[in-house]
Amino acid sequence: MMMVEMTSVPSASLPVTELTDHLRLSSGFADDGSQDAQLESCLRAALAAVEARIGKALFQRGFTWHLNGWSSTECQALPVAPVQSITSIKVITRGGVETVLNPDAYVLRKDTHRPAVEAVSSLPNPSRGGSIEIEMIAGYGSDWNGIPADLRQAVLIQAGELYESRGTSDATIAVGVAVLIEPYRAVRMRGVGG
């Protein structure tokens, strides 16, 4: 299984000005933009850290997930949330022949933590050596303001920590960030086998 981000967050969508204000870089000085590249880098790293910790995309963008077969022909959980839409599902033979599934054959079950593709009747498995490709749009908001406020604050705090440390710290999640993102983390429960 492999998930690929098909579109990245555009630089213009990153809250460089908000991070500048958060760090108070412009207090008493003219903002000449000389730190913008460093601030953007810190924001991208903070976004990646928060998204990895909660298993959710903050900015809406395209993802493609490749898998060898369904975990169940009735329902397949998706590896990222929140999924806004399924763009396409392809079943691919070992020889590379692609069959696009009719969108009427499945539905997207939207869920805060574990969205899934559910079959109307049954999802077709690929032939031996084949694969499945699911293209989807996932993320909270198409812009910074579409992301929940506590997650925006978590990104700013984490980016600020990264900016202040200039790579000298151990790159852990800041305590304040951990508190803000905790409600977004999926609770994993395992049954006890007998």
Does residue 107 lie within any of the structural domains? yes
Which of 9-13, 70-74, 161-165, 166-170 has the weakest average pLDDT? 166-170
User: How much is the mean pLDDT over the chain?
Assistant: 89
Which band of pLDDT confidence, cut at 50, 70 and 90, is reported for residue 82?
A: very high
Q: How far is it, in rounded angstroms, from Cα 116 to Cα 114?
A: 6
| Same domain (yes/no): 53, 65 | no
Domain count of the fold of the chain: 2
Q: What is the tens place of the pLDDT at every residue in 33-79? A: 678 889 999 999 999 999 999 999 999 999 999 999 999 999 999 99
- Confidence band (pLDDT; 50, 70, 90) for 143? very high
Backbone angles phi, psi at 132, to 5 degrees: -125, 140
Domain containing residue 100: 61-138
Res 30: pLDDT: 52
How many residues in the chain?
194
